[in-house]
């Protein structure tokens, strides 16, 4: 069974969310619609980082398989995150 992120997004549209929670989700969805195609998000070691794709459209990685920090655009503070898998 594969994980479908769209299905998960539909699943969490809950009625028990508070106003501030609903507003945060709405703003995140608005951001997703306006998100530059040249950026991607990386979550590692508790940091949420905005990364730029390489000119060929792939994620920049080092020879050792790590994310290439030369492509770091910004680090976003204040949003707890985890880079682990489901």
Report the C-alpha gap between 81 and 55 in whole angstroms: 27
Would the pLDDT of 32 be above 60? Answer: yes
What's the confidence (pLDDT) of residue 1? 47
Mean pLDDT, the chain, whole residue set: 87
Q: Are 68 and 61 in contact (CB under 8 A)?
A: yes
What's the confidence (pLDDT) of residue 45? 86
Report the C-alpha gap between 29 and 17 in whole angstroms: 16
Per-residue pLDDT tens over the stretch 37-70 = 999 999 988 899 999 999 999 999 999 999 999 9
What's the confidence (pLDDT) of residue 16? 83
């Amino acid at each position: 069974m594969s994980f479908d992120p769209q299905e998960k997004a539909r699943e969490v549209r809950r009625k028990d969310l508070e106003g501030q929670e609903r507003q945060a989700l709405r703003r995140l969805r608005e951001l997703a619609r306006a998100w530059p195609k040249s950026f991607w998000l990386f979550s590692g070691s508790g940091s949420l980082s905005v990364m730029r794709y390489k000119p060929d459209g792939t994620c920049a990685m080092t020879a050792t398989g790590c994310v290439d920090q030369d492509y770091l655009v910004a680090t976003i503070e204040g949003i707890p995150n985890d880079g682990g898998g489901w």
